[in-house]
Structure 1
Amino acid sequence: MKLIIAAAAAALLAATAGPVTAAEVELRLAHWLPPTHPVQPLGMEPWIESIRQASDGRINMTIYPASQLGAAPDHYDMARDGIADITYTNPGYQAGRFPVYGLAEIPFHVANAKSGAKALHEWYAPLAETEMADVKFCLINPHDPGTIHSKDPIKVPADIAGKNIRPAHATMARFVSQLGGASVQVPAPEAREAITKGTADAMTFPWNSIYIFGIDAATKHHLDMPFYISSQMLLFNKATYDGMSEENRKVIDDHCTPEWSEKFSIGWADNEYSGRQKMIDSPDHTLYEPTAEEVQLWRDAAEPLMDAWRADVTAKGGDPDAIYSSYVEALKRNDALYE
């Protein structure tokens, strides 16, 4: 009798509980950072949750961190080829492939990562339709302006000569070479090994990532100036995006906006900036603030990068003057231009 009652109760519970429904769209988001890196909890996860809520649970995403689906430089092709549905891609990890976007990598343009992200999105989104035509561009996520961190002091451009430098991207690698240094080109997750094993003498990195990647024990000297940015992007596989219903594509489109680029970037920007204060407070680290004359030396040294960028864009059939003007206008409009 007890078994009959238990069975009846279970049947009643099943009838009243309602079906457990799976998401209509299951997406894989791949990135190459550790899952504890601020980008995941402060950027990706809130973005994913907003999409889930806006779609009433129809769209779900699973994150694959730490290069589980492929190496950092491969993430653009992973989105293109459908190895992942969405990838977190650094265009600067592939030298020469995206010459137009290379403009964003030239130092002394972007003053901050928050409104800077919005400005970069407004500027590049229409250009991505051509330069990144085999994926769907969604968001831009720059880090807070980074600088040079080194074993020995680096104060002026002449100090780069003869040193091995881990550059943030292809444009910074070009800069290092122009100044007489040698580039040690490895993605961020491999930077610690390069500096601790002596392969590199210095690196370009945002402030708190020195702590995040455990590099603070090896780099004790820091050039105290907002120097450059490195931008990442969220890119969709086109077939994945095109295969969604119109209703679901609308949800994605609403989360691939300049405003979302800014929102996505705020948490990481604040986190990176906090690293500077840690170093100021630490007796183990030395920050050097260049004089106005030394800042000008750095700015003058970067001018050949603009010349090279113009030549690269012209060679691809682009109009560097128009592209540059729209870039500066977007930065000014969003109060993000380096002055």
Structure 2
Amino acid sequence: MTFRFAATAAFASTLLMGAAVQAQTVFTVSSWLPPTHTLSQAQKSWCDAVEKDSAGRLKCNILPKGVVAAPGTFDAVRDGLADISYTVDGYTPGRFINTQVAEFPFLGDSAVQTSVAYQRIYSKYFAPLGEHRGVKVLGVFTHGPGIIFNSKKPVTSAADASSLKFRIGGGNINELSKAMGWNTTLKAATESFELLSTGVMDGTFFPDESVASFKLNMIKHATTFPGGLYNTSFVFMMNPDKYKALSAQDKAVVDKLSGEYVARLFGAGWDKVDAASRDGAQKAQGVARIQADKAFIKAVADKQDYLETKWAASTMVKGLKDPKKVLAEFRAEIKNVK
């Protein structure tokens, strides 16, 4: 009897262990940036939080490299090649229009503030329009203020910028560069070192962080703008079928760690590495920083005014009502974020 009881208990224990294994969900997580980059680190922190809040029912399998190149990431998550990742909306030109609101010049000097404000505006106005249809949006965010970096000379005017070749990341800055008459090429951030080290490009438009992250030791000059020359809109996302398959309890965990939680997490990481790059890598390599003067700022603002009118018309076609009001609300919200 004792033997039969022990055998039965062992069998029951095995069944319970099997059920526990079956109850665990593992997300395949992809990043097209190195594991040390702030976005990869923020994504890992999100995974750690999900595992903790779900008592281990939800876990992440973070792949050693991205399942596809950066521009294909949205479709990769949509199609299930990865369960979770992030991407730059502007890497696929013309696909995302509403999101360009977060890419305009002079928005703010903190990634946390712009990211949280963007998330609030996105949830209120853009999410219902479904521009990111095909994925489960976990959150949206921006990087820190965009800067003109180059290896050749100080850029003190629009004319100076016109004499150089720059890598850019797409979105509104692509349109603004064309309007300014600048020689720019749309390439993923990960290609920057090769483009600049081989002389194919003279510089790049980036936030401070990227000089250190991509080891751009050839950079010698930086031109800053109050609130940034531009910004970049990112989306952090999950495969919708993976989300739908979760239990109500686990969906609640994911939902809790979405929206503003994501915006603050990614934004705070970016602010931290922006400061570290300014105070560390750039100072060590002797990057000379100047701020654009009033004439340079006005030249950009004059062109951007037309682009914002063009953006407003395009978003109305997409279903956004009163886009100029939305833009004004976004700018006001940035100042309100603590």
151-160 vs 308-317, which moves further: 308-317
Aligned residue identity for 1:178: A
Contact conserved, 2:99 with 2:233, CA < 8 A, in 1?
Answer: no
Q: 1:169 to 1:111 in 2, by over 3 A?
A: same
**For residue 102 of structure 2, what is the aligned residue in structure 1?**
104
Q: Displacement, 1:93?
A: 0.5
Contact conserved, 1:48 with 1:61, CA < 8 A, in 2?
Answer: yes
**For residue 157 of structure 2, what is the aligned residue in structure 1?**
156
* SS of residue in 1 equivalent to 2:155: coil
In the alignment, the residues of structure 1 paired with residue 309 and residue 50 of structure 2 have an alpha-carbon distance, to the nearest angstrom, of 41
Aligned residue identity for 1:33: L
CA RMSD of aligned residues (A): 2.6
| Equivalent residues in 2 for 1:16-95, closer than 5 Å | 19=17, 21-22=20-21, 24-41=24-41, 43-64=42-63, 66-67=65-66, 69-95=67-93
Matched, 1:302 2:300: no
CA offsets per residue over residues 129-185 of structure 1, 9 Å max, x none?
411122111112321112010122212222222432111223212221222222221
Contact conserved, 2:315 with 2:323, CA < 8 A, in 1?
Answer: no
**For residue 288 of structure 1, what is the aligned residue in structure 2?**
290
**For residue 121 of structure 2, what is the aligned residue in structure 1?**
123
* SS of residue in 1 equivalent to 2:172: helix
Residue in structure 2 matching 1:236, options 235, 238, 243: 238
CA offsets per residue over residues 168-220 of structure 1, 9 Å max, x none?
2232122212222222211011111111222212210111211210112x221
279-288 vs 155-164, which moves further: 279-288
* SS of residue in 2 equivalent to 1:131: coil
172-181 vs 286-295, which moves further: 286-295
Contact conserved, 1:105 with 1:169, CA < 8 A, in 2?
Answer: no
Q: 1:327 to 1:248 in 2, by over 3 A?
A: farther
Q: 1:323 to 1:268 in 2, by over 3 A?
A: same
**For residue 168 of structure 2, what is the aligned residue in structure 1?**
167
Q: 1:128 to 1:199 in 2, by over 3 A?
A: farther
Contact conserved, 1:120 with 1:331, CA < 8 A, in 2?
Answer: no
**For residue 279 of structure 2, what is the aligned residue in structure 1?**
277
* SS of residue in 1 equivalent to 2:280: helix
In the alignment, the residues of structure 2 paired with residue 325 and residue 198 of structure 1 have an alpha-carbon distance, to the nearest angstrom, of 43
Q: 1:60 to 1:19 in 2, by over 3 A?
A: same
Q: 1:65 to 1:153 in 2, by over 3 A?
A: farther
In the alignment, the residues of structure 2 paired with residue 334 and residue 180 of structure 1 have an alpha-carbon distance, to the nearest angstrom, of 30
In the alignment, the residues of structure 1 paired with residue 285 and residue 135 of structure 2 have an alpha-carbon distance, to the nearest angstrom, of 47
* SS of residue in 2 equivalent to 1:335: helix
**For residue 3 of structure 2, what is the aligned residue in structure 1?**
none
In the alignment, the residues of structure 2 paired with residue 291 and residue 118 of structure 1 have an alpha-carbon distance, to the nearest angstrom, of 29
* Alignment size in residue pairs: 320
Contact conserved, 1:125 with 1:137, CA < 8 A, in 2?
Answer: no
**For residue 182 of structure 1, what is the aligned residue in structure 2?**
183
**For residue 7 of structure 2, what is the aligned residue in structure 1?**
none
Contact conserved, 2:114 with 2:141, CA < 8 A, in 1?
Answer: no
In the alignment, the residues of structure 2 paired with residue 52 and residue 280 of structure 1 have an alpha-carbon distance, to the nearest angstrom, of 37
* SS of residue in 2 equivalent to 1:83: coil
* SS of residue in 1 equivalent to 2:200: coil
Q: Displacement, 1:279?
A: 6.2
* SS of residue in 1 equivalent to 2:255: helix
Gaps of 5+ in 1: 1-11
Q: Could you tell me the TM-score, scaled by structure 1's length?
A: 0.86
Contact conserved, 1:139 with 1:258, CA < 8 A, in 2?
Answer: yes
Q: 1:35 to 1:24 in 2, by over 3 A?
A: same
**For residue 132 of structure 1, what is the aligned residue in structure 2?**
132
Q: Displacement, 1:96?
A: 0.8
26-35 vs 151-160, which moves further: 151-160
* SS of residue in 2 equivalent to 1:233: strand
**For residue 256 of structure 1, what is the aligned residue in structure 2?**
258
